Amino acid sequence: MNNVLYIGPDHRNHRGGIGAVLDVYSKHITPFKFIPTYVTESFFKQLVTYIAAVFKLIWVCITDRQIKILHIHHASRGSFLRKSLLVLIGKIFGKKVILHIHGGGFHNFYNRAKLMKPVIRWTLENSDAVICLSEMWKKYYSSTFKLKRLVIINNVVESPLTSHVSPLTHETIGSLKLLFLGHVTEKKGVFDLLKVLAEGRDQFKHKVKVTIGGIGEVERLEKIISDNQFNGDVSFAGWVNGNRKAELLNNCDVYVLPSYFEALPISILEAMSYGKPVISTNVGGVPEIVKPGFNGWLFQPGDHEALNKILREAMENKALLKQYGNNSLSISKNYTPESVFQSLNNLYKEILNQ
């Protein structure tokens, strides 16, 4: 793909869904021409990275005559506004521009944008194509903006890593092992999960074990674990990737993401590719990959009573988990590199021929 320049958060040592997607892209696309716009470091480093990206883009547009398409990955808020300038630069140099929207809260961002609404609208409506992640988001963008081309292209997940599965111990035999991976924040719902476990201590003590991996409000998390004396029922693994992530995914029974906002979570797709059932919320594109009664459970964000009921059902019906896991694995095949990159190539050809 010599004629495509990819732009987005740095995928090396990434700590987010967009970075995970771009990391898979980098392993399957040759050559992978890429400009990073964001790093998960200090504000100064982030500012320098973005300014450098602006000048790199101008330089590439001038010197690399092969580049015809800018494929720009972004979320909401600052992520989107930073990319707006890059879209303008691309259009000035006559490049085709694809905006790939990953943010699960874009509708809230646009509704609250006030004076920035014209900038958002101009950026979207002057792009040659907008990529979204699900039918739900396609309906939103098509009804809110006048876009030249709007398509769904699935998020991509790498094939699972083979990893050692820890032997069962007397502490884990018979327990329901849950795994949460992501940002440890209120909006991801991880504190709702802990509250449900604390409120249902008599039901869940030593019967439900949770491993949490991620970054964010770590001190708050550790305090809740300590204050509630979960005694090994809840453990914090820190940020995980590679073989450690594979080990955790292989060892869990169910993946849980009780989030308040999502587009189409990479973490859920990764768990499904490992053949795991999913407990999540009825937000964004999640209902398109998590089907109640087929490969998991859904509930409304913040509904503690519903989550309690789901945990009890999963705990008391362990035989159902294997069936749900197999169904998850089947759905995940639509998100393999082979499937996704074929759709991308078709879009690139359409844009260049229009």
Question: CA separation (Å) from 97 to 90, 189, 222?
Answer: 7, 35, 44
Tell me the C-alpha distance between 46 and 301, whole Å: 32
Topology of domain 176-334 in CATH is Rossmann fold (3.40.50)
Beta bridge partners of 33: 5
Is-same-fold flag (4-156+336-353; 176-334)?
A: yes
Taking the CB of residue 301, how many other CB atoms lie within 10 A of it?
17
Q: CA 189, 273, 167 angle in degrees (round to 5)?
A: 85
Q: Which two tokens stand for residue 30?
A: 């040759």
Confidence (pLDDT) at 150:
98
Residue type, 64: D
- 4-156+336-353 — its CATH code? 3.40.50.2000
Tens-level pLDDT at each residue, the chain (354 residues): 789 999 999 998 777 789 989 999 999 999 999 999 999 889 999 999 999 999 999 999 999 999 999 999 999 999 999 999 999 999 999 999 999 999 888 999 999 999 999 999 999 999 999 999 999 999 999 999 999 999 999 999 988 876 444 444 434 457 999 999 999 999 999 999 999 999 999 999 999 999 999 999 999 999 999 999 998 899 999 999 889 999 999 999 999 999 999 989 999 999 999 999 999 999 999 999 999 999 999 999 999 999 999 999 999 998 899 999 999 999 999 999 999 999 999 999 999 987
Q: What's this model's pTM, rounded to 2 decimal places?
A: 0.87
Cα first-last separation, the chain: 18
Domain ranges in the chain are 4-156+336-353, 176-334
